[in-house]
Amino acid sequence: MSPYPAARRFFRFSGTVVGLISGRKTRVQLTPNMGVDVNGIAAAALLTGVALVAKTVLPWSRAWLLPAAAAVPVTAFFRDPTRRTPTDSDAVVAAADGRVLSIGHVTDERLGAGEWLRIAVFLSVLDVHVNRSPVSGRVLAITESVGGYAAAQTSGAEHNVAQYTLLETSRGKVGVAQRSGLVARRIVNRAQVGKRLNAGERFGLIRFGSRTDVYLPVGAALPCVAVGDRVLGGETIIARWKR
């Protein structure tokens, strides 16, 4: 049996994915409450195509089952559920799903001079990895920081590859750091300098286990979570601005 029909079907499917990406569509809505990031669609397309070609070229083998089965959990990793962001103007919401790793005062020259209240959240491979803006504001700067790939829940992650997004808000500047991890090696940041992000709005993701930190001006906000708490990106209130 010729593999060409399978290849043609695969390339048609891949063409659809390329169209999604080139059209700047970032997600596909599957149900009223669940979508998938376009990166997940691309990964599913690749694995499905490999399975299709393998089944056609090697009809006596079950090798095609491996990529076909992998397509499901890989797509699930890129799931993007609908979230209900609080309308409270004093609320600062989590930038990602996960577990609160640390809360404390830090300095970070990548965000400028001064001290920050940082709330760090660790994302396991089972968590939703879509990143959301913790507050509403205009994007002032996006900075890429070179470094290593230490486990995201260790102190070494402070020097991992990361992307910093700095927002200008009515309450002061707010930073979000997307940090790579031991397994996570790709950071996607779709924010644009000069454009506005609304609280809870999606702006990127990190692949396969990572960490997302929110930086707030010291003295301007009070934490509403504790170390070890589970949070949902765009929904859980992690801090409140002082009045």
- Burial of 128 (C-beta count, 10 Å sphere; 0-12/13-18/19+): buried
> Residue 183: its pLDDT value, please?
65
Q: How confident is the model at residue 5 (pLDDT cuts 50, 70, 90)?
A: low
**CATH pick for 91-241 out of 2.70.70, 1.25.40, 3.40.1180, 1.10.357:** 2.70.70
pLDDT digits (tens, 9 = 90+) for 179-225: 987 765 688 899 999 999 999 999 998 876 689 999 999 999 999 99
Domain residue ranges of the chain, discontinuous segments joined by + = 4-81, 91-241
> Residue 12: its pLDDT value, please?
52
Q: In this model, does residue 170 exceed pLDDT 60?
A: yes
Residue numbers annotated as active site: 210
Give the separation between CA 37 and CA 42, rounded to whole angstroms: 9
Q: In this model, does residue 4 exceed pLDDT 50?
A: no
164 contacts 203 by C-beta, under 8 angstroms:
no
Give the separation between CA 93 and CA 135, rounded to whole angstroms: 7
Q: In this model, does residue 110 exceed pLDDT 50?
A: yes
How far is CA 215 from each of CA 98, 111, 196, rounded to the nearest angstrom? 17, 9, 18
> Residue 24: its pLDDT value, please?
63
Q: How confident is the model at residue 2 (pLDDT cuts 50, 70, 90)?
A: very low
* Average pLDDT of the residues of the chain: 83
